[in-house]
């Protein structure tokens, strides 16, 4: 069989985490902290478009009781997708960052909801009791 003209691979396939779930249960439950990374396959075409395969292909997970919260892991640069030379963090530091980020996000949400409620309030209640007489 003859080779096709200019026949070369044009697609690349890789696996990425697409959803992350965190569980930091109350100590009274006796359950370990856990982080689950749900993975999916992606095909990157030569034109730069991506085809995301819909099925989850696997999970990477960490079940971290408090005694392993000092475990270190290397940090990666999101722009270069390379390890940052010598940079590390611990499970405990990550948990603290995420815990703090939750409170920050919740406070911002509450501020936004409160501001929206205030915008909906009438400027004056004058006339709202008109015709009600003395009660």
Burial class (CB in 10 A: 0-12, 13-18, 19+), 45: exposed
Through-space distance between the first and last CA atoms of the chain, rounded to whole angstroms = 99
Of 24-38, 69-83, 106-120, the least confident: 24-38
Check whether 133 has a pLDDT greater than 80. no
DSSP 88: E
Backbone angles phi, psi at 38, to 5 degrees: -90, 125
Kindly indicate the confidence band of residue 16, based on its pLDDT and cuts at 50, 70 and 90: confident
CA distance 72 to 90: 4
What percentage of the chain has pLDDT greater than the value 90?
A: 24
b/e map of 57-82 (b: 16 or more CB within 10 Å)?
eeeeebebeeeeeeeeeeeeeeeeee
In this predicted model, what pLDDT tens digit does every residue of 83-106 receive, in sequence order?
A: 999 999 998 898 889 889 989 999
Burial class (CB in 10 A: 0-12, 13-18, 19+), 22: middle
Residue of higher predicted confidence among 85 and 37: 85
The pLDDT assigned to 132 comes to 56
Check whether 111 has a pLDDT greater than 90. yes
Sheet with 50-64, edge to edge strand ranges: 12-23, 33-44, 50-64
CA distance 45 to 25: 41
In this predicted model, what pLDDT tens digit does every residue of 56-75 receive, in sequence order?
A: 777 777 776 666 788 899 99
């Amino acid at each position: 069989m003859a080779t096709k003209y200019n026949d070369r691979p044009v697609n690349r396939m890789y696996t990425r985490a697409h959803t992350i779930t965190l569980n930091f249960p109350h100590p009274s439950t006796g359950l370990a902290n856990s982080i689950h990374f749900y993975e999916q396959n992606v095909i990157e075409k030569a034109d730069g478009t991506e085809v995301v395969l819909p099925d989850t292909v696997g999970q990477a997970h960490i079940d971290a009781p408090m005694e392993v919260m000092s475990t270190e892991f290397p940090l990666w640069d999101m722009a270069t997708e390379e390890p940052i030379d010598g940079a590390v963090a611990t499970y405990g530091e990550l948990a603290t960052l995420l815990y703090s980020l939750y409170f920050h996000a919740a406070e911002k949400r509450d501020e936004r909801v409160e501001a929206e409620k205030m915008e909906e309030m009438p400027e004056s209640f004058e006339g709202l009791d008109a015709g009600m007489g003395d009660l």
